[in-house]
């Protein structure tokens, strides 16, 4: 059964192939210098993505300098104002400044994206390493489980976790991370399986190096590149999922200035105050776009077969 | 072909059984007592909670619960909603057509527009169309579907009045949600079709065809397109699953009926049996969609049948 779930976001249909190619291709020149050179030589879009991402991260971090409004401060005299110099993104029905809500919301969303992917990487690597390294029935049982978990759309798995944890920003972040574990487990396992075949691993086994040491020193480094590519795109996916869950009331709760919450705030005012929904949604789209552009660039570097010609 | 079909069908049933088991144990073993979560809003008395726990059979050993659950499931009994006391199976089945309609429509939109865009992007490689469509597709992938849905409502329903704002019904109710959900499949498919098309166009038989003077149009839509079908079909399966998952959000945005909206409501209200039933059902639909994709593979590419 080829029940595949799309690796969260983006045009990452080539991830399987990417992984395969990564295992055969070995950089001849020292890794990071080569990567850096290719990243800069790469098409304008990737450079644009990096710049956009830096701009977003920078302005989100510098939020207190870029706005003098508290994202939670209400002001009844400035309700539902359209975009102006004073309020670039307008104000919502409680008179809160949307520019500062979107800025501060970015902190939450970006951080949540990183943490969720972090959870997925740690969990997925652990399972993938164990399955790939021990093989046999351990591998069989774990991989069948992964197959089954991937046989349902990711958001449903996330919703099961939220169901038991209860809706909140932190829980949504954890739930997204947990629900993405299978994807990473599968990638890591694949890389481990081919790394295992290498002579140096066999040699280490024969000499009697303990299993955990072989995994950490000899096998894990092979896994880094494919995971890095998927994880980058995964951060974008996690941000989208979080916004979606918050929109449904299953993630961050109002009045938290989370992007999905703000879009949802604007929903009731769609007819009269288009700016609430529009700008918060644009923030999500541009953040995810920047991350996807960088992810695409990374994939091009690590997988020459898919490089845009 | 016969054994291939049988093998695939058996594998699907195995996955469905796994799905039933995993969902069951996940929902029971995860921290958080469903009944107390359900009751937080009402500050229910301890004996009420005990009664509901008893009613749901949550006090029995977990394996007993599991066997009973399987037994009921075989008879088509998914339990009943804690709040409405309506049978979960009946609710799910009545909502299923609307969700299927939405998922199929958005996948179709994705396939048609995605494949066409991909073909022309590849044919006019490095043209403005190519660059623009690839950049736009990346933007499509990055947009949250619920936001797109809201913008559509704002522009096409509230302002232009071309489509109804919300609800379930005929074609006019389907267009906006289906397109909102179809943006992403369009983007994903156009990118993949473009890449595979470029690969195919470099192959010898295409060169030969060109040398023979076959019309470029025929090469694109006849020779090359056929070879691009395999990745397209894989993606159709994946994107259908995405549409099923996306229905959870889009149905809420457009106030449409469907399993997705049922699932969201169930999670919000902590309606335990309903959550389990909806999740299971969407999962099963996805497994069947993948089964169909696998069988299509076998028809299109004989090599797959024997591997």
pLDDT tens-place string over residues B198-225: 888 888 888 888 888 888 888 888 778 8
How far is Cα of residue A139 from the mean position of the Cα atoms in its chain? 26
Residue of A nearest to B244 (CA): A153
pLDDT tens-place string over residues B3-31: 888 888 898 889 999 999 988 888 887 77
Joined together, the tokens standing for residue A243 give 């916004």
Work out the pLDDT band at A170, boundaries 50, 70, 90. very high
Contacts of A280 in chain B (CB under 8 A): 147
Q: In angstroms, rounded to a whole number, what is the distance separating the alpha carbons of residues B68 and B55?
A: 13
Joined together, the tokens standing for residue A302 give 């690590």
Is residue B277 within 8 A of residue B92, CB to CB? The reply is: yes
Predicted pLDDT at A309:
36
Rounded to 10 deg, the angle between the A169-196 and A220-247 helix axes is 160
CA distances from B7 to A151, B10, B13, B231, B293 (A): 17, 5, 10, 22, 14
For the ranges A8-22, A231-245, B50-64, B185-199, the lowest mean pLDDT is seen at A8-22
CATH code for the domain in which residue B196 is found: 1.10.3720.10
Predicted pLDDT at A31:
60
Predicted pLDDT at A11:
37
A2 — phi, psi (to 5°)?
Answer: -100, 60
Residue B175 and residue B65 share a domain: no
Predicted pLDDT at A39:
53
Is residue A53 within 8 A of residue A290, CB to CB? The reply is: yes
Q: Looking at the 3D structure of chain B, how many domains does it have? A: 2
Is residue A250 within 8 A of residue B267, CB to CB? The reply is: yes
Q: Residue B84: inside a domain, yes or no?
A: no
Domains and CATH numbers, chain A: 33-66+98-307 (1.10.3720.10)
Contacts of A148 in chain B (CB under 8 A): 15, 18-19, 21-22
Among residues of chain B, what percentage have pLDDT more than 70? 93
What per-residue string of b and e applies to A179-207 under the rule 16 or more CB within 10 Å gives b?
bbbbbbbbbbbbbbbbbbeeeebeebeee
Q: In angstroms, rounded to a whole number, what is the distance separating the alpha carbons of residues B264 and B269?
A: 9
Domain with B35, as residue range(s), is: 2-74
Q: In angstroms, rounded to a whole number, what is the distance separating the alpha carbons of residues B73 and B58?
A: 17
Residue B164 and residue B67 share a domain: no
Residue that has been written with the tokens 């010898």 in this structure: B204
Is residue A187 within 8 A of residue A15, CB to CB? The reply is: yes
Window B:118-147, CB contacts with A under 8 Å? 135, 137-139, 141-147
Residue B251 and residue B112 share a domain: yes
Contacts of B279 in chain A (CB under 8 A): 152, 156, 159-160
Last residue of a domain, one of B12, B44, B74: B74
Residue B107 and residue B12 share a domain: no
pLDDT tens-place string over residues B255-287: 898 999 999 988 888 888 898 899 988 999 999
Q: Look at residue B179 and tell me whether its pLDDT is greater than 90.
A: yes
Residue B159 and residue B40 share a domain: no
Contacts of A5 in chain B (CB under 8 A): 238, 241
Work out the pLDDT band at B43, boundaries 50, 70, 90. low
DSSP string over A63-100: HHHH--S-TT---GGGTTPPS-SSSTT-B-TT--BHHH
Predicted pLDDT at B217:
81
Among residues of chain B, what percentage have pLDDT more than 90? 24
Predicted pLDDT at B80:
85
Instruction: Give the residue with greater pLDDT, B201 vs B42.
Output: B201
- Give the ranges where chain A is alpha helix by DSSP (H): 15-24, 31-41, 44-61, 63-66, 98-134, 136-149, 154-165, 169-196, 199-207, 211-214, 220-247, 259-267, 274-302
Q: In angstroms, rounded to a whole number, what is the distance separating the alpha carbons of residues A39 and A57?
A: 19
Predicted pLDDT at A38:
57
In DSSP terms, which residues pair with A285 in a beta bridge?
none
Q: Residue B306: inside a domain, yes or no?
A: no
Q: Residue B81: inside a domain, yes or no?
A: no
CA distances from B25 to A35, A51, A62, B40, B62 (A): 44, 46, 45, 23, 8
The dihedral of CA A250, A254, A256, A262: what is its sign?
positive
Mutate to test the interface with B, among A109, A147, A163 (most CBs of B within 10 A): A163
Contacts of A233 in chain B (CB under 8 A): none
Residue B59 and residue B108 share a domain: no
For the ranges A5-14, A40-49, B119-128, B224-233, the lowest mean pLDDT is seen at A5-14
Residue B179 and residue B117 share a domain: yes
Residue B139 and residue B232 share a domain: yes
Predicted pLDDT at A4:
42
Q: Residue B222: inside a domain, yes or no?
A: yes
Q: Look at residue A21 and tell me whether its pLDDT is greater than 50.
A: no
ipTM of predicted assembly, 2 dp: 0.86
Predicted pLDDT at A184:
92
Q: Look at residue B167 and tell me whether its pLDDT is greater than 90.
A: no
Is residue A5 within 8 A of residue A147, CB to CB? The reply is: no
Among residues of chain A, what percentage have pLDDT more than 90? 27
Average pLDDT over residues A269-284: 89
Predicted pLDDT at B44:
61
pTM greater than 0.90 (yes/no) = no
Predicted pLDDT at A296:
82
Does B144 contact A285 at a Cβ distance shorter than 8 Å? yes
Q: Is B288 on the interface with A (CB under 8 A)?
A: no
Q: In angstroms, rounded to a whole number, what is the distance separating the alpha carbons of residues B76 and B68?
A: 12
Q: In angstroms, rounded to a whole number, what is the distance separating the alpha carbons of residues A90 and A272?
A: 12
Residue B105 and residue B44 share a domain: no
Instruction: Give the residue with greater pLDDT, A305 vs B248.
Output: B248
Highest mean pLDDT among A18-32, A205-219, B260-274: B260-274
Last residue of a domain, one of B74, B98, B124: B74
Residue B189 and residue B140 share a domain: yes
For the ranges A39-53, A87-101, B218-232, the lowest mean pLDDT is seen at A39-53
Work out the pLDDT band at B113, boundaries 50, 70, 90. very high
Is residue A292 within 8 A of residue B138, CB to CB? The reply is: yes
Highest mean pLDDT among A125-134, A146-155, A169-178: A169-178
Last residue of a domain, one of B16, B51, B74: B74
Predicted pLDDT at A174:
94
Residue B97 and residue B47 share a domain: no
Residue B202 and residue B69 share a domain: no
């Amino acid at each position: 059964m080829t029940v595949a779930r799309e690796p969260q976001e983006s045009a990452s249909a080539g991830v399987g192939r990417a992984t395969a190619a990564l295992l055969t291709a070995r950089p001849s020149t020292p890794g990071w210098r080569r990567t850096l050179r290719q990243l800069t030589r790469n098409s304008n879009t990737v450079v644009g993505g990096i710049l956009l991402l830096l701009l977003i991260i920078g302005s989100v971090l510098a939020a207190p300098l870029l706005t003098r409004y508290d994202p939670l401060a209400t002001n009844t005299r400035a309700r539902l104002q359209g975009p102006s110099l004073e309020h670039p993104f307008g104000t919502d029905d409680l008179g809160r400044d949307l520019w500062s809500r979107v800025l501060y919301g970015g902190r939450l969303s970006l951080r949540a994206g990183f943490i969720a992917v972090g959870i997925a990487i740690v969990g997925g690597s652990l399972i993938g390493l164990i399955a790939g390294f021990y093989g046999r029935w351990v591998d069989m049982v774990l991989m069948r489980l992964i197959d089954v978990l991937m046989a349902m759309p990711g958001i449903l798995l996330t919703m099961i976790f939220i169901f038991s944890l209860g809706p909140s920003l932190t829980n949504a972040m954890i739930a997204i991370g947990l629900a993405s574990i299978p994807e990473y487990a599968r990638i890591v396992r694949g890389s481990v399986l081919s790394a295992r075949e290498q002579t140096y691993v066999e040699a280490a086994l024969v000499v009697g190096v303990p299993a955990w040491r072989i995994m950490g020193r000899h096998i894990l480094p092979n896994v880094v590149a494919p995971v890095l590519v998927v994880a980058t795109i995964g951060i974008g996916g996690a941000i989208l999922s979080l916004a979606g869950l918050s929109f449904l009331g299953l993630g961050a709760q109002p009045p938290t200035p989370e992007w999905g919450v703000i879009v949802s705030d604007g929903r009731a005012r769609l007819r009269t105050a288009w700016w609430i929904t529009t700008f918060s949604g644009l923030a999500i789209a541009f953040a995810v776009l920047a991350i996807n552009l960088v992810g695409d660039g990374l994939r091009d570097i690590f997988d020459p077969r898919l490089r845009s010609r | 072909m016969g054994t291939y079909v049988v093998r695939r069908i058996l594998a699907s049933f195995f996955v469905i059984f796994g799905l039933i088991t995993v969902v069951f144990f996940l929902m029971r073993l995860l921290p958080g007592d469903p009944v107390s979560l359900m009751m937080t809003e009402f500050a229910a008395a301890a004996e009420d909670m005990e009664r509901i726990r008893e009613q749901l059979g949550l006090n029995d050993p977990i394996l007993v619960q599991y066997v009973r659950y399987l037994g009921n499931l075989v008879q088509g009994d998914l339990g009943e909603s804690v709040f409405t006391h309506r049978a979960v199976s009946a609710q799910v089945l009545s909502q299923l057509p609307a969700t299927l309609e939405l998922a199929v429509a958005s996948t179709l939109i994705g396939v048609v527009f995605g494949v066409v865009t991909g073909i022309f992007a590849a044919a006019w490689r490095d043209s403005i169309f190519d660059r623009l469509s690839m950049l736009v597709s990346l933007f499509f992938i990055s947009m949250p579907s619920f936001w797109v849905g809201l913008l559509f409502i704002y522009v096409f329903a509230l302002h232009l009045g071309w489509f109804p704002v919300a609800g379930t019904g005929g074609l006019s109710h389907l267009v906006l949600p289906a397109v909102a959900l179809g943006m992403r499949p369009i983007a994903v498919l156009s990118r993949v079709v473009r890449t595979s098309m470029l690969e195919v166009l470099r192959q010898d038989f295409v060169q030969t065809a060109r040398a023979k003077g076959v019309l470029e149009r025929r090469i694109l839509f006849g020779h090359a397109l056929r070879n691009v079908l395999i990745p397209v079909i894989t993606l159709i399966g994946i994107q259908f699953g995405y549409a099923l998952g996306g229905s959870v959000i889009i149905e809420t945005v457009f106030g449409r009926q469907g399993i997705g909206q049922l699932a969201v409501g169930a999670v919000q209200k902590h309606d335990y049996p309903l959550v389990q039933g909806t999740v299971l059902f969407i999962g099963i639909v996805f497994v069947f969609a993948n089964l169909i994709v696998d069988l299509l593979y076998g028809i299109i590419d004989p090599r797959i049948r024997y591997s």
